[in-house]
Amino acid sequence: MKDKKFKLIRSRLLLPLDEKIGLETRIEDGYVLIEGSLVREAGRYTDEIGKRIIRDCGSELEVIGASGVPASEKEIPCLDGVVLPGFVKAHGHDHESPIIGVAKDEPLTEWLDHAVNVFTGFLNENREDLEKRFGVSANTLTYSKAKLDDIYYGITTALTHHCNFNKYHLAELVEANARAGTKIIIAIGGQDRNYDPRILDTVEAAVKRMDDCAAEFSGRDRTWIIPGPDQVFSNSAQMIQALKEWADANGTLFHMHSSEEPNTTAWFYSEYLTSPVEYLHRVRALDENTILAHQVNNTPVDLAVLQATGTNIVHNPLANTILGSGMPPVIEMLEKGIPVAVSTDGSGSADSQNMLAAARLASQYQKAFHQNARLLPAQQVLEMVTTVPAKMLRLNTGSLAPGRDADLILVDLARPNLTPTRGDNVVENLIWASDGSEVRWVVGNGKVLKDDYRFLSLDEEKIKGDIQRLSELLIEYRRTSKEIKATGARKE
Ligand SMILES: [Zn+2]
C-alpha cells in the first residue's frame, strides 16, 4: 500500500511532552496529525478538527487504527491507548541479543570476556560458515534483531555504541536501521590498550576509520556517525584526544563508557594514578558535546568536573544492577545540573530493551537508597527516556509538537495491568504498572513501523528464528572455546 502523505492518530490519552504547553500536560481525547515525516498538529480532538482534517487531507489521509479513507469524522476511532513520543535510547549496543542470559552472575570484566568477547570471536571465526547458513552476515542478523527489539519496546531513536569487532561492520548496521525505519547515532568503538589484542587500533587507523565511515554513511537513512572509543581503560590519552578532536572538527557528539564498576575504576586509579573522569578532563575530552555512559563511581572532584564541563550522563540501571556494578549518584548529579538520561545498555547486560523498566528501576532504586519516596517521580523518569535524551543527542525528536519528527507510540490501555488508567494516573501507570509489551503502534519519521502489534518494516518470524539458531550455535562454540582473559584489570 502506498504511504499516504497525512496520518492521523486519535487516542483516549495523549502526552505531547512539549515544553511550550508544559511537559506535564495530559490531554484526554487527543490527536496527532502527521504530514510526511513531521508532526503537523497535536492537541485535543474535536469533531470540528476531524471534519477539517478530512476536508483538507482528502484521499491522502490515513487514519491509524481504521481501514480506508474516512468519509466523515464519525469514522475516526478514538483508540483505547495513550500516545506519547517514541523512546530515545541514549546508550546501547546492537549485537548483544544472542548473549542474553550468558555469563550471568559475573561482574563486568568477566562478563565482557565470557559473553561479549566470546560472541564476537565466534562471529569472526565462523564468518563464512554462518553467512552460508543464514544467507546474510551474522552481524546483520544481530543488528536486525536489535531493531526488532527497539520497535517492540517503542524505541524510535538509538545511540548505538558500536564496540569491539562491530567497528568493522558499520555497513550492516546502517542497512539494518534503514530497513527498520528507525533513527540511529552510531558511536564507532575503538581500543588501543588493555583489551582483546585482535582488535587493538593505532591512533592513525582509528582516525582514518572515522573519516572513511563518516564519508560513506553520515546523513544516510536517518544515520549519524560519531566517535565512541570503548572504555577509558582501553584507550590511551593520545587516542582519546585524537578522537575528541575529530568530533570537534566535525561538529559531532563524543561517546564513551566511563567508571562503570568499582573494581575496574579502582584498578584504573592504581594503574594511571587518576580517576577516569579526571583523565578525560586532562585530555580535554569533557564538555557539553560529550556523553558518558554509566559513571557509577564518582569522587567529589569527578562530580565537580562533570558539572563544570557540562558533560552528559546516561544511566543504565538494568545493566548496572545485573552486573553488580552499583548505581550512579543520580540525585546529586541532577542537583548539580548535570544532564542525566536513562537507558538500557545492550541486551546482553540489560537482558531486554525495556525502556519503561529502566525508567522504573532508576526511580525505584533512588527512592529506596535515599529512603525518600518523593525522589524521581514518574513524570521525571518518563522525560529521562524521551525529552532529555533527545536534547542530549541533538535530535528533533522526543516531543509531539508541530515541526518535530513524527516519532510516536501508542501504549495499549486495554490491558489488565494498565486498568484503570485515567488522565490523572496515566504517567504513573506507564512507569509503575506497564510491563513494556503494550506498545501497540509505533510510528518512526512518519512511517508506521508497528501496526496493531504487527511489525511492518521487519520480518519478525524470520529474525526470531535466525537469532534462536545463532544463539544455539554460539553456546556449542562456547563449550570448547579458549577462555579469554584480556580485558582491563583481567589482562594477563
Ligand atoms: Zn554499554
Which pLDDT value is given to residue 487? 61
- The rounded Å distance from CA 91 to ligand 1 centre is 6
Q: Could you tell me if 92 and 37 lie in one domain? A: no
Q: Could you tell me if 51 and 124 lie in one domain? A: no
Which pLDDT value is given to residue 1? 64
Summarised one tens digit per residue, pLDDT across range 361-414 is 999 999 999 999 999 999 999 999 999 999 999 999 999 999 999 999 999 999
Summarised one tens digit per residue, pLDDT across range 335-350 is 999 999 999 999 888 8
Which pLDDT value is given to residue 363? 98
- The rounded Å distance from CA 92 to ligand 1 centre is 6
478 domain residue, yes or no: no
461 domain residue, yes or no: no
- The rounded Å distance from CA 263 to ligand 1 centre is 17
* CA torsion angle 224 227 289 397 (round to 10): 20
Question: Half-sphere exposure of residue 423, counting CA atoms within 13 Å on the CB side?
Answer: 13
Final residue before a domain boundary, out of 374, 392, 410: 392
Which pLDDT value is given to residue 490? 53
Q: Could you tell me if 192 and 318 lie in one domain? A: yes
Averaged pLDDT, 417-438: 98
Mean pLDDT, the chain, rounded, equals 94
144 domain residue, yes or no: yes
Summarised one tens digit per residue, pLDDT across range 114-133 is 888 889 889 988 999 999 99
* Residue 185 burial (CB count, 10 A): 25
Q: Could you tell me if 289 and 360 lie in one domain? A: yes
- The rounded Å distance from CA 62 to ligand 1 centre is 39
In which domain, by residue range, is 420 found? 6-86+400-455
Final residue before a domain boundary, out of 371, 392, 413: 392
Residues 6 or more apart from 204 whose CB is under 8 A from it?
Answer: none
- The rounded Å distance from CA 333 to ligand 1 centre is 20
Is residue 293 over pLDDT 90?
Answer: yes
* Residue 118 burial (CB count, 10 A): 22
479 domain residue, yes or no: no
Rounded Cα distance between 351 and 200, Å, is: 28
463 domain residue, yes or no: no
Is residue 270 over pLDDT 80?
Answer: yes
Residue with cell 543488528: 143
Rounded Cα distance between 152 and 305, Å, is: 38
- The rounded Å distance from CA 211 to ligand 1 centre is 23
Q: Could you tell me if 74 and 220 lie in one domain? A: no
Q: What percent of the chain has pLDDT over 90?
A: 83
328 domain residue, yes or no: yes
- The rounded Å distance from CA 346 to ligand 1 centre is 6
* 82: CATH: 2.30.40.10
CA-CA-CA-CA torsion sign (368, 374, 379, 381):
negative
- The rounded Å distance from CA 108 to ligand 1 centre is 10
Which pLDDT value is given to residue 491? 54
* 362: CATH: 3.20.20.140
Final residue before a domain boundary, out of 392, 418, 435: 392
Q: What is the pTM of this model?
A: 0.96
Q: Could you tell me if 105 and 49 lie in one domain? A: no
Q: Could you tell me if 407 and 294 lie in one domain? A: no
- The DSSP code for 135 is S
Which pLDDT value is given to residue 93? 94
Q: Could you tell me if 248 and 329 lie in one domain? A: yes
- The rounded Å distance from CA 38 to ligand 1 centre is 31
Q: What percent of the chain has pLDDT over 70?
A: 98
Residue 218 burial (10 A CB sphere; 0-12, 13-18, 19+): middle
Q: Is residue 492 very low, low, confident or very high in pLDDT (cuts 50, 70, 90)?
A: very low
Rounded Cα distance between 359 and 365, Å, is: 10
Separation of first and last alpha carbons in the chain: 58
Q: Could you tell me if 136 and 256 lie in one domain? A: yes
Evaluate whether 386 touches 339 at the Cβ level (below 8 Å): no
220 domain residue, yes or no: yes
371 domain residue, yes or no: yes
Q: Could you tell me if 264 and 332 lie in one domain? A: yes
Is residue 426 over pLDDT 90?
Answer: yes
Q: How many domains does the chain have?
A: 2
Q: Could you tell me if 95 and 79 lie in one domain? A: no
Q: Could you tell me if 99 and 177 lie in one domain? A: yes
- The rounded Å distance from CA 34 to ligand 1 centre is 34
